Structure 1
Amino acid sequence: MKLFLFERIQVLPVNINDAWRFFSNPRNLKDITPPSMDFKVTSPNTDQTYAGQIITYTVRPLFGVAMNWVTEITHVQEPFFFVDEQRFGPYRFWHHQHHFNEIEEGVEIRDLIHYLLPPMQFAGLVNRLIVEPRLNRIFEFRRQALMKIFPVP
């Protein structure tokens, strides 16, 4: 069993409360997810993240195959961090930490994701050739989208 780690840091020219309002609203995920993933929140509308919250989605993470994804928000310390964990979905384990740190240039957004792939031989190779490059593309799209949503003044 190989636990993988994916980390990304981005600085946005906003204050921590504006960053929190955007990232803690599940409805905004669609705006920072590549259109090819056909991402849709299917749980009841909520504009705020809270511990114990269950969020359901449909998404096409790989090869255009539609999947249901269920996450639970397990930890929230507004406006500094929250954690979502997959309950059902494409991964064997998914633990995504969202950290917000106010700095001189605005807010540093740090995503720290620990994940396990479904049991398979050559999981390391599958991660290196398929999963990690896919996560890189998703987060590069997100970086570009956030630069448009929060342009430098």
Structure 2
Amino acid sequence: MSRFEVTTLVPAPPPVVFDVSLSVDVHTTSFGHTGERAVAGVTSGMLALGDRVTWRARHFGITWHLTSVISVCERPSFFVDEQVTGPFRRWHHAHTFEAAHDGAATLMTDVVDFAAPVPPLGTLADLLVLKRYLRRLILLRNAHIQAVAAAPDQR
């Protein structure tokens, strides 16, 4: 099993960043380069506790489907999405939002715990590329969240 953490300062208050982070539409546009889109469950708008969404995207030349559920949701400070079905043996993504700069900004932290599929080949893939690849995807997503949250007319 692997784990990584990414912390991003977003120039907007926690409730705004929290809501932007739970937007299916923002998520989809942040991963446009993978063709990712919601194909089942909640396919647009805001996700909430218990909501499921099935994502379809192309990574490493293969089309993948991953269904996740919002298993914890405590607005505006914390939520968790977890894989229900999909390519990972385990996917647990915790999102925390802490006020910074007197509440005018948010320190957003992503903690991703995952287990690659099909050991031992999946474990080898994780060591060689998967963890680095997933971290880069989270960084791209967070840069998009920064831009959307900082520009209220784009939410």
Q: TM-score, normalised by structure 2?
A: 0.85
C-alpha distance in structure 1 between counterparts of 2:62 and 2:131, whole Å: 18
Partner of 2:15: 17
Gaps of 5+ in 2: none
C-alpha distance in structure 2 between counterparts of 1:46 and 1:82, whole Å: 18
Q: Is the contact between residue 37 and residue 64 of structure 1 (CA under 8 Å) also seen in structure 2?
A: no
Question: Quick one: structure 1 residues 79 and 88, their matched pair in 2 at CA, closer, same or farther if it must change by over 3 Å?
Answer: same
Q: Is the contact between residue 91 and residue 115 of structure 1 (CA under 8 Å) also seen in structure 2?
A: yes
Partner of 1:69: 66
- Structure richer in strand, relative to its length: 2
Counterpart amino acid of residue 81 in structure 2:
D
- The runs of at least 4 aligned residues of structure 1 exceeding 4 Å deviation read none
Counterpart amino acid of residue 67 in structure 1:
W
Q: How far does residue 151 in structure 1 lie from its aligned partner after superposition?
A: 5.0
Partner of 2:147: 148
Partner of 2:120: 121
Q: Is the contact between residue 13 and residue 105 of structure 2 (CA under 8 Å) also seen in structure 1?
A: yes
C-alpha distance in structure 1 between counterparts of 2:138 and 2:46, whole Å: 22
Matched pairs, number: 148
C-alpha distance in structure 2 between counterparts of 1:45 and 1:118, whole Å: 26
C-alpha distance in structure 2 between counterparts of 1:46 and 1:134, whole Å: 26
Q: Is the contact between residue 70 and residue 86 of structure 1 (CA under 8 Å) also seen in structure 2?
A: yes
Gaps of 5+ in 1: none
C-alpha distance in structure 2 between counterparts of 1:60 and 1:111, whole Å: 22
Overall identity of the aligned pairs, in %: 21
